Structure 1
Amino acid sequence: MPRFIPLLALLALPAFAAGPVSAPVPRRPVHTYSIVARDPETGELGVAVQSHWFSVGSTVPWAEAGVGAVATQSFVDPTYGKLGLDLMRAGRGAPESLAGLLAADSASQVRQVAMIDAKGRVAAHTGDKCISAAGHLVGENFSVQANMMEKDTVWPAMAKAFREAKGDLAERMLVALEAAEAQGGDIRGRQSAALIVVSGKASGRPWVDRKFDLRVEDAPTPLKELRRLVTLQRAYNLMNEGDLAIERNDTEAALKAYSSAEALAPGNAEMVFWHAVSLVNVGRVDEAVPLFQKTYKADARWRKLLERLPKSGLLPDDPKLMTKLLGPSR
């Protein structure tokens, strides 16, 4: 991996002022096609990637709420992600940040990197020694990039798909990845995928700002699995919305969110169980009973869990109520 000049030195210098640093180049390229993007309506920032390499999500995608997003691939150097976010957090735009890091990298000819900042400024680089077919396309609020592709139609197809896709940022980035695969994708095949979406503004609570943070480490069809996980994440996000609505005493909003979550993840007994618990706690016991019965049919251990909730204060300590909720045992 190349060594980079210190962040403070980069901040003090104009773009491209830093000289190259001698360092060894990794022996194999490990990452293939990706997208960095921003939703102009919500400000959300994101990265999505697929590769024929194990655990692509551990090195390629980087994103921070209110700061920016980075994809670093080809002969990958993860420090582009760390330092790219550091520079953008310090006030540099994505083009300046990327230019400074490339100028400090003696192996920039084998790198492929894209960055977008919280204002939607975008920059991308494909080194002239990246393995073909390789290239990138920068558009308004996004950049798509790919290397080692079967065909050079991959990244233009990604750009077109992203521009035309409907839905939120996660959905539009997924559509872009699927368009790449439809064009043949990586000449080596497929193995892993990842998707990150963060809020447009930082709340000071990073765990809240990360709307999606999903990785498929190793799978025959990683994009299909990634799409399944995105749908499941949406369901759990709705469960969280329901919990927050309960805290606000907005029962109808909570129950609507819980029902929407269950519709996205049919067969998920846990969502049904906690929906039922919430119904009991707002006095809608008769509506809760059939939901509890549904979970017991899926796995009898949900009945055992229910018996433990009064002691933890999650249900009223009322023997008559518990008898009704537990129903006839088998």
Structure 2
Amino acid sequence: MTFSVIGRCHKTGQLGIAISSSSIAVGARCPWVRAGVGAVATQNVTLPALGPQVLDLLESLRVDPQAALDRVLGANDWSEYRQVTVIDAQGRTAFFSGKEALGLYNAVPGEQCVAAGNMLAGVEVIEAMVPAFENTRGMLADRLLAAMHAAMAAGGEAGPVHSAALKIAGDLSWPIVDLRVDWADEDPIGKLDSLWQAYRPQMQDYMTRALNPTAAPSYGVPGNE
């Protein structure tokens, strides 16, 4: 039903998530990032509230990811249906897969990353994601997407994948990357990668436009000169 990877860039401190699902619009429910705080992927039978709740504890109480995750899951009556991964601003990680997680499921931590999934074609799908993230050079988005491609090459989900999302937090209070393929009959991860390649050269310009409109570059569209 879902597989994902969360990670941190040790050079920039950026935090991010790439995720895909057989369900529609996975990016609307499952990935949560907060600049300088952490990232959370909530999946399986998804409770979106878990993401903000874990991030709130990381930010307000400055507890480690495992303590934040344990506290949030302990307050929820249906935790055994959830699969959740967490990374904080220091790169520390935590993960949980409840006994009611769907189908074949797995979670694997790595160096400043965690990959997890359910309804998998095989446990090797998740095992392939961590080395792909760790060994890929480039921006955080490139590394997250490399892990997603590795998962598909290893078998992906037991069924077809229809949606995918990429969300990254940097130094600003809003995500600097927030790209989604809400539904595709085929290859949503490939389409998400194409979106990233189109957005990548404009990413800094959009941050500049927000912080200093007088320095905003023009793209030659009507009303934007």
TM-score by length of 2: 0.90
**1:157-213 deviation line (CA, Å, top 9, x unaligned):** 0011111111111000000011111111111111000010101x4x4xx24xx2200
CA distance in 2, matches of 1:137, 1:157: 9
Pairwise mapping of residues 1-330 of structure 1 onto structure 2 (< 5 A)?
Answer: 31-90=1-60, 91-199=62-170, 201=171, 203=172, 206-207=173-174, 210-219=175-184, 220-240=186-206, 271=219, 273=220, 305=222, 314=225
CA distance in 2, matches of 1:165, 1:43: 17
- CA positional deviation for 1:106: 2.5
**In 1, are the aligned partners of 2:111 and 2:134 still within 8 Å (CA)?**
no
CA distance in 2, matches of 1:157, 1:86: 31
Specify the code of the residue in structure 1 equivalent to 2:141. Answer: A
CA distance in 2, matches of 1:70, 1:158: 17
- CA positional deviation for 1:120: 1.1
**In 1, are the aligned partners of 2:65 and 2:92 still within 8 Å (CA)?**
yes
Counterpart in the other structure of 1:10: none
CA distance in 1, matches of 2:58, 2:148: 26
Question: Which stretches of structure 1, 4 residues or longer, exceed 3 Å deviation after superposition?
Answer: 238-248
- CA positional deviation for 1:246: 10
CA distance in 1, matches of 2:22, 2:166: 15
Specify the code of the residue in structure 2 equivalent to 1:174. Answer: L
**1:111-133 deviation line (CA, Å, top 9, x unaligned):** 11001111111000111221232
By percentage of residues, which structure has more strand? Answer: 2
Specify the code of the residue in structure 2 equivalent to 1:221. Answer: D
- CA positional deviation for 1:235: 2.2
By percentage of residues, which structure has more helix? Answer: 1
1:40 and 1:188, CA in 2 relative to 1: closer, same or farther beyond 3 A?
Answer: same
**In 1, are the aligned partners of 2:7 and 2:87 still within 8 Å (CA)?**
yes
Aligned to 1:82, the other structure's residue is in SS state: helix
- CA positional deviation for 1:232: 1.5
Aligned alpha-carbon RMSD (Å): 2.3
1:105 and 1:41, CA in 2 relative to 1: closer, same or farther beyond 3 A?
Answer: same
Specify the code of the residue in structure 2 equivalent to 1:68. Answer: G
Residue segments in structure 2 that go unaligned for 5+ positions in a row = none
TM-score by length of 1: 0.63
Larger radius of gyration: 1
Aligned to 2:190, the other structure's residue is in SS state: helix
CA distance in 2, matches of 1:67, 1:246: 27
Higher relative contact order (CA 8 A, sep 6+): 2
Q: Percent identity?
A: 35
Specify the code of the residue in structure 1 equivalent to 2:59. Answer: R
CA distance in 2, matches of 1:158, 1:136: 10
